[in-house]
């Protein structure tokens, strides 16, 4: 190493870590009393629960609903292609709409958390989305491989 | 306040809004800065720019490696580099906490109570104080036309004289004694008298090779040449200078060296400055010489005069005005110069010579001060 390497600060110059800057409001918020903050805490928890449920619909109810709609289109028109197109277009449309609603809920969750007295810098949508993907994928794999896939025949009494 | 309004007040600014606010603030600051005329401080003679970042990094690097132990007492790496540069043995060099500290130590060593230290005047204001602090008596020798008069210096040497101190180029006048003149002075000085030659501004002179006077230490054991890292190197805050003497001056050199050497951070900076600094020092010297020539050419058209300088400053006098009055007139144009009173002559000001922009400011302020277009 060069004897004057500027990148080796040796811990002498420690700056603020990314994402730890203070919140900047347009004006200093007028905060309500303790009772209102308790209410806001509960409200924030409710919004977060709702947001989680909304995002979870992406990994079960919505695909199933659109597959059912697609099957109905196939049945009514006799066209498999039309069923597939309607099912996928519907899924994409409601996926976008759901994400929009979730973002809005996430925004209000942040505001209510701040109103409840927390120094809430970011939202929770990314974390909920990742957890719900993991959860949805796990449930799907169990369904696909165990309930409907090779697992069902391997563990069945009729298996050779 | 409505229900939603209550929550909306907790909405934070977006990144774009924050950046827009910062841009607006910066634009306002710029506009204000353009309205102001910044102060151009030409009252000081050290190099005005911050030291090279790599040199300071070397110092910081040394600090991180631990300063719990004592530094190398002789600053051996820096001393070896200086010895190589000046083509002398390392034992002929001592590095101290600035050239002034070494001069003071030499005064303490050479002067007994009542002994005399002869120095031209005006010159570096600390020389007389050095003599007094060492219990000696300063003897001032008037300059001749702003320049050091070697004959007058020799005449001032008496029975009690033990030290002659010359600043070359002389601060604050900038005049220069060539090595041939110094050789004559050394030849005529009595055996008991040491000559301390302070070459703080040697890198700015262009009369002869920078080591011309230093070479005299090969032949004159009572000559000590002092250099500093405070001026051309711009490392005043680190306090570093060195003395070069003859092989016969080993006792004197040893006695003026700091007891435990200079600090480790300064040593690291010096080594790095000596390793990489030559092109920059050469550039600074060239810059000062160019601007000095420009300033002195401009003086012909102004009601001022100054002895020909070989340093990075000029010793300026305006007919009919005191130095304080000249300084006050220049200050109206936000150009600061050093009034001559504290430096030894009320009728002069010392004006530092720097880059082209500073020269422009100085000449413009002088024209304004004396009503010249």
Q: Which domain holds residue A76?
A: 35-138
- CB within 8 Å: A4 and B61: yes
Residues 44-83 of B with CB under 8 A from A: 53-55, 57-58, 60-61, 63-64
Cis, bond preceding B28 (omega within 30 deg of 0) = no
Read off the CATH number of the domain in which B365 is found: 3.90.1150.10
* pLDDT tier, A154 (very low <50, low <70, confident <90, very high otherwise): low
Residues B228 and B110 in one domain: yes
Residues B324 and B183 in one domain: no
End-of-domain residue from the set B251, B276, B301: B276
Quick check: is B325 in a domain?
yes
Q: State chain A's maximal CA–CA distance in angstroms.
A: 79
Strand partners, A156: none
The pLDDT value given to residue A17: 61
* In contact, B97 and B229? CB cutoff 8 Å: no
The pLDDT value given to residue B35: 80
Q: Is a pLDDT exceeding 60 seen at residue B65?
A: yes
| pLDDT, average across residues B30-51 | 89
Residues B254 and B285 in one domain: no
Total domains in the fold of chain A: 1
If 0-12 CB within 10 Å is exposed, 13-18 middle and 19+ buried, where does residue A141 land?
A: exposed
Quick check: is B194 in a domain?
yes
B286 touching chain A per CB within 8 A: no
pLDDT digits (tens, 9 = 90+) for B3-26: 788 999 999 988 888 889 889 998
| Residue found by looking up tokens 């008991």 in the block | B192
Residues B222 and B268 in one domain: yes
| Residue found by looking up tokens 């604050």 in the block | B172
CA distances from B215 to A130, B210, B255 (A): 77, 10, 22
- CB within 8 Å: B7 and A112: yes
Which of B1, B10, B55 is opposite residue A115, by nearest beta carbon? B10
* Helix (H) or strand (E) run with residue B228 in it: strand B223-228
Read off the CATH number of the domain in which B76 is found: 3.40.640.10
* In contact, B79 and B90? CB cutoff 8 Å: yes
CA distances from A95 to A12, B224, B287 (A): 49, 86, 69
Q: How far apart are the C-alpha atoms of B23 and B38, rounded to whole Å?
A: 23
User: A-chain residues within 8 Å CB-CB of B12?
Assistant: 23-25
Total domains in the fold of chain B: 2
The string over B138-156, giving b where at least 16 C-beta atoms fall within 10 Å of a residue's C-beta and e elsewhere, is: bbbbebeebbbbbeebbeb
Cis, bond preceding A5 (omega within 30 deg of 0) = no
Q: Is a pLDDT exceeding 90 seen at residue A18?
A: no
For residues A140 and B192, which has the higher predicted lDDT (pLDDT)?
A: B192
Q: How far apart are the C-alpha atoms of A131 and B96, rounded to whole Å?
A: 67
* In contact, B349 and B316? CB cutoff 8 Å: yes
Q: Is a pLDDT exceeding 60 seen at residue B315?
A: yes
The pLDDT value given to residue B370: 87
Quick check: is B30 in a domain?
no
* In contact, B241 and B43? CB cutoff 8 Å: no
| pLDDT, average across residues B240-262 | 96
Residue B59's SS3 state is: helix
Quick check: is B3 in a domain?
no
Q: Is a pLDDT exceeding 60 seen at residue B116?
A: yes
Q: How far apart are the C-alpha atoms of B230 and B284, rounded to whole Å?
A: 13
Q: Is a pLDDT exceeding 90 seen at residue B112?
A: yes
Quick check: is B224 in a domain?
yes
B332 touching chain A per CB within 8 A: no
Distance of CA A112 to the CA centre of its chain: 19
Distance of CA B303 to the CA centre of its chain: 28
Residues B58 and B97 in one domain: yes
The pTM for the full model equals 0.67
For residues A21 and B143, which has the higher predicted lDDT (pLDDT)?
A: B143
Q: Token pair for residue B346?
A: 């009320």
Residues B64 and B155 in one domain: yes
The string over B309-330, giving b where at least 16 C-beta atoms fall within 10 Å of a residue's C-beta and e elsewhere, is: bbbbbbbbbbeebbbeebbebb
Residues B157 and B287 in one domain: no
Q: Is a pLDDT exceeding 60 seen at residue B366?
A: yes
If 0-12 CB within 10 Å is exposed, 13-18 middle and 19+ buried, where does residue B270 land?
A: buried
Short-list B327, B314, B313, CA closest to B365: B327
The pLDDT value given to residue A158: 57
The pLDDT value given to residue A16: 57
The pLDDT value given to residue A8: 57
B35 touching chain A per CB within 8 A: no
* pLDDT tier, A31 (very low <50, low <70, confident <90, very high otherwise): confident
Quick check: is A160 in a domain?
no
Quick check: is A10 in a domain?
no
For residues B217 and A134, which has the higher predicted lDDT (pLDDT)?
A: B217
Residues B271 and B289 in one domain: no
Residues B85 and B152 in one domain: yes
Residues B156 and B103 in one domain: yes
Nearest chain B residue to A114, by CA: B10
Quick check: is A107 in a domain?
yes
Quick check: is A84 in a domain?
yes
| pLDDT, average across residues A24-34 | 88
Q: How far apart are the C-alpha atoms of B91 and B248, rounded to whole Å?
A: 10
Quick check: is B18 in a domain?
no
Q: Which domain holds residue B356?
A: 40-50+279-369
Q: How far apart are the C-alpha atoms of B215 and B244, rounded to whole Å?
A: 10
Residues B314 and B220 in one domain: no
End-of-domain residue from the set B258, B276, B294: B276
pLDDT digits (tens, 9 = 90+) for B347-364: 999 999 999 999 999 999
ipTM of the complex: 0.73
* pLDDT tier, B219 (very low <50, low <70, confident <90, very high otherwise): very high
Quick check: is B32 in a domain?
no
Quick check: is B19 in a domain?
no
The string over B231-260, giving b where at least 16 C-beta atoms fall within 10 Å of a residue's C-beta and e elsewhere, is: bbbbbbebbbbbbbbbeebeebbeebbbee
Residue B124's SS3 state is: coil
Q: Is a pLDDT exceeding 90 seen at residue A47?
A: yes
Which of B7, B18, B57 is opposite residue A24, by nearest beta carbon? B18
Quick check: is A70 in a domain?
yes
Distance from CA of B61 to the nearest CA of A (A): 6
Residues B189 and B252 in one domain: yes
End-of-domain residue from the set B276, B294, B326: B276
| pLDDT, average across residues A23-44 | 91
């Amino acid at each position: 190493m060069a004897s004057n390497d500027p990148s080796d600060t040796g811990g002498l110059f420690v700056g603020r870590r990314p994402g730890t800057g203070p919140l900047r409001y347009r004006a200093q918020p007028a905060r309500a009393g303790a009772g209102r903050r308790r209410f806001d805490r509960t409200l924030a928890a409710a919004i977060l629960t709702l947001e989680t449920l909304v995002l979870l619909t992406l990994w079960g109810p919505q695909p199933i609903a659109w597959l059912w709609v697609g099957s109905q289109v196939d049945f009514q028109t006799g066209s498999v292609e039309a069923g597939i197109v309607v099912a996928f277009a519907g899924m994409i449309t409601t996926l976008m709409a759901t994400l929009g609603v979730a973002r809005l809920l996430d925004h209000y969750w942040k505001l209510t958390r701040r109103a409840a007295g927390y120094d809430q810098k970011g939202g929770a949508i990314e974390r909920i989305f990742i957890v719900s993907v993991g959860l949805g994928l796990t449930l799907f794999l169990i369904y696909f491989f165990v309930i409907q896939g090779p697992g069902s025949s391997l563990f069945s009494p009729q298996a050779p | 306040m409505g229900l939603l309004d209550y929550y909306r007040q907790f909405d934070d600014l977006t990144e774009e809004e924050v950046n827009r606010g910062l841009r607006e603030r910066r634009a306002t600051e710029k506009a204000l800065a353009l309205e102001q005329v910044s102060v151009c401080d030409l009252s000081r003679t050290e190099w005005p720019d911050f030291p090279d970042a790599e040199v300071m990094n070397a110092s910081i690097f040394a600090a991180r490696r631990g300063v719990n132990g004592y530094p190398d007492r002789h600053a051996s790496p820096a001393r070896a580099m200086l010895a190589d540069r000046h083509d002398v043995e390392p034992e002929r060099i001592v590095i101290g906490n600035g050239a002034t500290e070494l001069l003071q130590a030499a005064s303490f060593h050479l002067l007994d109570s009542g002994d005399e230290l002869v120095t031209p005047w005006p010159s570096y204001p600390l020389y007389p104080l050095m003599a007094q602090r060492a219990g000696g008596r300063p003897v001032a020798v008037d300059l001749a036309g702003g320049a050091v008069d070697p004959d007058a210096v020799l005449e001032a040497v008496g029975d009690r004289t033990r030290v002659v101190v010359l600043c070359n180029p002389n601060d604050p006048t900038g005049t220069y004694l060539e090595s041939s003149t110094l050789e004559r002075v050394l030849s005529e000085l009595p055996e008991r008298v040491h000559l301390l030659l302070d070459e703080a501004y040697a890198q700015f002179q262009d009369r002869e090779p920078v080591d011309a006077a230093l070479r005299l230490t090969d032949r004159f054991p009572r000559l000590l040449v002092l250099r500093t890292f405070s001026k051309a190197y711009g490392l005043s805050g680190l306090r570093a200078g060195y003395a070069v003497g003859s092989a016969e001056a080993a006792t004197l050199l040893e006695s003026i060296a700091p007891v435990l050497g200079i600090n480790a951070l300064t040593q690291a900076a010096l080594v790095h400055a000596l390793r990489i600094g030559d092109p920059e020092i050469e550039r600074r010297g060239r810059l000062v010489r160019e601007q000095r020539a420009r300033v002195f050419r401009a003086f012909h058209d102004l009601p001022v005069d100054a002895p020909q300088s070989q340093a990075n400053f000029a010793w300026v006098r305006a007919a009919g005005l005191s130095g304080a009055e000249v300084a006050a007139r220049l200050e109206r144009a936000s150009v600061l110069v050093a009034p001559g009173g504290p430096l030894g002559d009320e009728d002069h000001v010392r004006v530092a010579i720097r880059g082209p922009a500073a020269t422009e400011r100085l000449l413009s302020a002088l024209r304004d001060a004396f009503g010249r277009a």
